[in-house]
Structure 1
Amino acid sequence: SVKKIEEYQKDFYISALDEQVVVLEGFEFINAKARELIFSKKDKNMARISYLVSRYKEKAFILELSKDDEDILLINKELNLLKLCLPKHSKELYEEIKKDEIGARLLENFSKEFPLLDENFELQNNFYSLFGLIGRVLNLGKNLQESASELLKIADESKMPRGVKIDYRLKEDKSFDYTRTLRSAMSFMLAGVDSANIAYGAVESLAYFLRDTYDELREKKQSDLALISGSLFEHKSLLKNTLKHLKNCQLSDVPLRV
């Protein structure tokens, strides 16, 4: 147990993962000048990332996955490899899915078994919002926030050794193809796979996507260390799978969120 013996400007939040301590929030224990600099900036999260970048060498690959801000897969201290642009309305999602024959057939079959969405999406361009889209398709909540939270709760509480393989891939222009992710979830729903399996599979498969991206950088000698950062890694299902599948991967010593 932990006993608070002194009151700080902002409480210090930690979480236990196996034999590791994950610092979720609290900057009272980092360098005072760095803390002052971070909190003097308008975009405090980006200032936190800049501080993290400054502490590691050039070849660090930073996995900055957030629940509130846009996601960043940072290499060479300045290049974001992730080009993720999610739809703002369900109509946009379905139009993108229908752009090829296989997707159009899938959507037609899916609409016969499950209700289609007709709503605006309040989201950020991050994987948390993508989980929200998957959760809405699975009918886990009334909106993206509620659906993402429930999907991650299911994944965190899961005892399954592995989930179904959800598709995470890039297009030819290297932008992230979110339609493939949603299409694979819809295909499993049509096949009768339960929501818990799909939810855990969505989280586990994201870790595999991060691994594949990192392995490609390692093969090209562009990175030799992966650093975990960002509030999405508060969820143990994602954190454990990422640490498990990425070689030479570690938690940063900077809190996951501001």
Structure 2
Amino acid sequence: MTLHFTFYSKARHIAFFVDFWARRSNLRYALRQNDDSCELFIGGSESELTKFSDELAKMSTSVFLKDTSVQLCDEVPDIPAFSTDFKSANITPYALETGKNECGFESDEDFIKAASQALKASQSVSYKGLIISKLENFDCDYIMPTRLNLLPKIFICDEKNMIALSSFEKPVIRLRTSALFRQNHKDAPLFFGVRAPFDINLFKLAQSLEGINFLAIKDSNRPFCANLLERQLCVIKGGEFSPVINSQNKLAALFALVLAEYKINPQNCGLIYFSKENADFIKVFKGDSQYEMLKINIPSSYEEIYEIISSRSALIENFKAKFPLKTGKIDRPANFYSLFCIIAEILGFKDEPLDLGADFSGARGVRIDYKMQSKDEFDTISLIASAMSFRLAGADERNISFGLIESLVSFIDSYTDLLKNELDCEDFVLLGSLFGSKPLGELALKHTNAKLSEIYPLELP
């Protein structure tokens, strides 16, 4: 009797775990790694295969795993032996059962005991690039609950996110803080990063901290961060699951990987790169030529913004009659995120605009003006003026913030349609940390034909 399992995932470390459990069964098997799946063929008696299936259920879940299937087949095919150099210290169900994970990493009881004593005495602990302390405020990179069932004390977490937090990869996921918690903690943000204890030492340490519900983590390692979108996973930061790229131009190398992931022709495609840290651009590649199609100019001061708007309309006079005018110099990267932050400053938003947009509960936001000033230059001032007009008309900060996101997606859709018609460009890829905004990533996938990688991060350090 032969069973044929298929694990639908583009992430190749899934095959490591499948191979581990198949090898442990001592049954005859073969493993095939495809571009978007891993196939296991394993033969034995009915009782042996039933036992193996029960054991396989102990394999870690993965945020990269879309689905699995199993069916009968004729025989185990002759496939070259599987090999991988994958190593990770992350905790797995097997580690809880045996004391070490499938890669051979085990717990350090001396560290666990000393760290537990230090944290109970309100001291911080250093561990593998982390500074761990009892949670007192949000001055940290993310929060680690000592037990996942404690999350509702601070956060709203649905089943999908809970499963992801419990997965092998243990991503940092930004969760919404509850209204009740924010009511009692005025400085609490709308959203904040959460990560479950991700290796056996941290897990055992957390279990030992009776009476301590949450830990504050400062992490110098650039950990794995992800969003669970409706249609797919979005990797914000790859952490240990990032590709190793030695090229000086990491963005070009990352772009090439995503093109290969979707089998896109590199000589007839486009790249939409929107970042929080770097200048935004849209490039179209045709044969050996490339065309940069988007230029964003950031005003040097708030006064410059008001002067230009005043030359066009009476908006500034009307606005300052109701709201104070933000003044001073502006020194920000040439990107849409900078424009969002400038608008938030002018309109007096209390929270980060992307978080406000994610917290919006309406069906549609206000329609904010996104348009080009020339063939390749974006009209920065019209965008700012449009947001100010909606604020003056009574739109609240969440409505405007979501409108900024939703209208940007409409701009991407219409502008890429124009580029497809003018330059006969077939496919577009989305990269850059701005797409780490969950509503932006979600809407971009839903309303444009652009691709977002399922396995590679939006940006590399």
TM-score scaled to structure 2, two decimals? 0.48
In structure 2, distance between residues paired with 1:127 and 1:29: 28
Please point out which of 363, 379, 394 is paired with 1:192: 394
Structure 1 residue aligned with 2:308, among 92, 96, 100? Answer: 96
Q: Which residue does the alignment assign to 1:61?
A: 270
Tell me whether 1:20 sits opposite 2:232 in the alignment. yes
Count of residue pairs the alignment pairs up:
237
Shift of 1:177: 0.9
Distance of aligned partners of 1:36 and 1:245 in 2 relative to their CA distance in 1, 3 Å threshold = closer
Match of 2:362 in 1: 160
User: Separation in 2 of the partners of 1:10 and 1:93?
Assistant: 36
Is residue 2:426 matched to residue 1:224? yes
Cα offsets for 1:202-231 (capped at 9, x unmatched):
111011111111111222352221211111
Instruction: Answer whether contact 2:245 2:253 (CA < 8 A) is retained.
Output: no
1 CA distance for matches of 2:246 and 2:383?
39
What residue identity is the alignment partner of 1:117?
K
Partner of residue 250 from structure 1, selected from 451, 455, 461: 451
> Any conservation in 2 of the 1:24–1:256 contact (CA below 8 Å)?
yes
CA contact (8 A) 1:52 1:254 kept: no
User: CA deviation digits over 1:123-164, x for unaligned, max 9?
Assistant: 1100000100111122115xxxxx6xx111011122211101
TM-aligned CA deviation for residue 98 of structure 1: 2.3
1:71-96 Cα shifts (integer Å, max 9, x gaps): 11111173221110111211111122
Shift in Å, 1:27: 6.4
Contact 1:15–1:21 (Cα < 8 Å) also in 2: yes
DSSP-derived class of the 1:185 partner: helix
Q: 1:30–1:234: structure 2 CA closer, same or farther, 3 Å change rule? A: closer
Q: Tell me: CA distance 1:185–1:36, structure 2 relative to 1, closer, same or farther (3 Å).
A: closer
Q: Which has the higher strand share?
A: 2
Within a 5 Å distance, the mapping from 1:1-258 to structure 2 comes to: 1-3=166-168, 4=198, 11-26=223-238, 28-29=240-241, 35-38=244-247, 41=248, 46-53=249-256, 55=259, 56-57=264-265, 58-76=267-285, 78-100=290-312, 102=313, 105-141=314-350, 150-172=352-374, 174-246=376-448, 248-252=449-453, 253-258=455-460
Higher helix share: 1
- Unmatched tracts of structure 2, length 5 or more: 1-165, 169-197, 201-220
CA distance in 1, matches of 2:254, 2:441: 21
Q: Distance in 2 between matches of 1:71 and 1:172?
A: 17
SS in 1 for 2:235: strand
Q: Which amino acid aligns with 2:294?
A: L
Contact kept, 8 Å, 2:406 with 2:440, in 1: the verdict is: yes
Secondary structure of 1:83 counterpart: coil
Structure 1 residue 5: Cα displacement: 5.9
Q: What code does the residue aligned with 1:154 have? A: L
Give the number of the structure whose alpha-carbon radius of gyration is greater.
Answer: 2
Amino acid at match of 2:389: S
- Overall identity of the aligned pairs, in %: 32
User: Where has structure 1 moved over 6 Å in runs of 4 or more?
Assistant: none
CA displacement 1:101-121 (0-9 Å, x = unmatched): x2xx11111111111111122
What is the alpha-carbon distance in structure 2 between the residues aligned to residue 89 and residue 115 of structure 1? Answer: 16
> How far does the alpha carbon of each residue in 1:14-55 deviate from its partner, in whole angstroms, 9 at most, with x for none?
221124111112265466xxx2424xx3xxxx5223441473
Q: SS of 1:251's equivalent?
A: coil
CA RMSD of aligned residues (A): 2.3
TM-score by length of 1: 0.83
Distance 1:92 1:231, change over 3 A: same
